[in-house]
Chains A and B, each alone.
Chain A
Amino acid sequence: MQTVEKNLISIWQEMFDTQDISPSSDFFELGGNSLTAIKFLDQVEKTYGTEALQPDTLFSNSQLSYLATVIAEKVSES
């Protein structure tokens, strides 16, 4: 889970052009929208597979630590 979290942090650092990303960072509060959601979901899919993160999960709770948990669970299932 920690590696997933670290990985998400670095993705968001690049995406939002800021070093100020932590597990409590929120995708939409950082300025994320549908377009950046696509980019983010694409990157997650490339790294962790198609089922790792669904759009509605991202939308309903967009906190980094939560997303990392969801992805880690999916990864350990497969």
Chain B
Amino acid sequence: MKNIEDHQAYITIKTDDYVNQRLICFPYAGGVPSVFRNWSQNLPKGVEVIAVRLPGRERLIKQPAFHCWKELMSYLITTLMPLLDLPFSLFGHSFGARVAYELALKLEQENFNASHVFISGCQAPDKPCQPPFLFNMSQEEFHKILIEMGGLSCEIVQNRRLMKLLEPTIRADMKLAELWPVDLQKSISSSTVILYAIYDSLASPSTIYSWKYFSKSRAEFHKFYDGHFFIHSQEKKVTEIIGGYLCGGLKNEARFIN
């Protein structure tokens, strides 16, 4: 990955020398910055893509993953504050979307307003996950579901030594996502863009539409004909849509849910 700078807690994917805004990206549960490794290719000039690496993975493998939302938010605000000297937007997929939303709320309280908040593959706050939860499933069931969801290849899941390393972090992220203690009275002021896939069993369309109640601006919806990991399979379209907003334009395909 040339031209990529590794800052431990995040990776900077530069597009060019003249940066006028940042896009800070949060991957799905257990995810790592390389999820976004190609994103500089499809986004407009001047956009610097920041891919966050939470504790408990890659070179931060020896630091335990966060189990507490409050601590995670404190950590992110401290860690990402130096990046907020320019206009910024937040992107998150699934668990990452919850992180992006919570962070946007917290930052607003400190008078840092994201230009756009992109919520991808994530149920609306008023559609909480129901038990049985994934995060505390038996190892056998958990591994089966990971493979079924398509987030991790069979080869990885069946590798005991690697899973011993990766599994606690995946479970920790999922626990945060599934036990998300959302405040239904709150909403973000930023331009809010919702990306969702119609075959996404973790965030099906019926769980998406009420995102409009959690944004003070008019939330815009973009539909994908795919499953939960459309962030990968539809990477080009995802980044084109995001790029459209970062350019200041409104994508024609956006729907408003009334």
A34 to B1, CA, bound (A): 15
Judging by beta carbons under 8 Å apart, are B62 and A28 in contact? no
Chain A: number of interface residues, binned into ranges: 10 to 19
| B residues in contact with A33, CB < 8 Å | 32, 34
Instruction: Give the total number of A-B pairs whose CB atoms are below 8 A apart.
Output: 49
Contact of B162 with A34 in the complex, beta carbons under 8 Å: yes
The docked-state distance in angstroms from the alpha carbon of A31 to that of B32 is: 12
Q: Please, which residues of chain B bring their CB within 8 A of the CB of A38?
A: 155-156, 159, 162
C-alpha gap A41/B163 in the complex (Å): 13
Minimum CB–CB distance from A62 to chain B (whole Å) comes to 7
Determine the chain B residues whose CB is within 8 A of the CB of A61 once the complex forms. 59
Classify chain B's interface size: 20 to 34
Take A34-B162, A55-B161 as given contacts and tell me if A28 and B58 are in contact as well, using a CB distance cutoff of 8 Å.
yes
Judge whether B62 and A60 touch: CB under 8 Å: yes
A70 within 8 A of B: no
Docked pose: A28 CA to B11 CA in angstroms:
11
Please give the distance in Å from B154's CB to the nearest CB on chain A. Answer: 10
Contact residues, A33-58 vs B (CB, 8 A): 33-35, 37-38, 41, 54-56
Q: Is the CB of A41 within 8 A of B161?
A: yes
CB-nearest residue of chain A to B152: A34
Give the distance in Å from the alpha carbon of A2 to the alpha carbon of B66 in the complex.
Answer: 39
Set of chain B residues within 8 Å of A41, measured between Cβ atoms: 161-162
On chain B, the residues within 8 Å of A29 by CB distance are 1, 4, 6
Residues of B within 8 Å of A30, CB to CB, are 1
Q: Is B41 an interface residue (CB 8 A)?
A: no
Min CB distance A33 to B, Å, is: 6
B140-160 interface code vs A (CB 8 A; 1 in, 0 out) = 000000000000110110010
Q: A31-B1, A34-B156, A35-B153 are in contact. Are A56 and B166 (CB under 8 A)?
A: no
Closest chain A CB from B243 CB (angstroms): 23
Q: Among residues 1 to 50 in chain B, which have CB atoms less than 8 Å away from a CB atom of chain A? A: 1, 4, 6, 32, 34, 37
- Per the bound structure, the CA–CA distance linking A62 and B159 in Å amounts to 19
A56 touches B59 (CB 8 A): no
Q: Would A60 and B34 be within 8 Å (CB), given that A34-B156, A35-B155 are in contact?
A: no
A56 to B58, CA, bound (A): 8
B61 at interface, CB cutoff 8 A: yes
C-alpha spacing A31/B164, complex, angstroms: 22
Given contacts A31-B37, A33-B34, A38-B159, contact A56 B6 (CB under 8 A): no
Determine the distance from Cα of A23 to Cα of B122 in the docked complex, in whole angstroms: 42
A residues within 8 Å of B by Cβ?
26, 28-31, 33-35, 37-38, 41, 54-56, 59-62
8 A-B residue pairs with Cβ-Cβ distance under 8 Å, sorted by A, are A28-B6, A28-B59, A31-B34, A33-B34, A34-B152, A34-B162, A37-B162, A59-B57
Given contacts A34-B152, A35-B153, 13 further A-B contacts (CB under 8 A): A28-B58, A28-B59, A29-B1, A29-B4, A29-B6, A31-B37, A33-B32, A34-B156, A35-B155, A41-B161, A59-B58, A60-B59, A60-B60
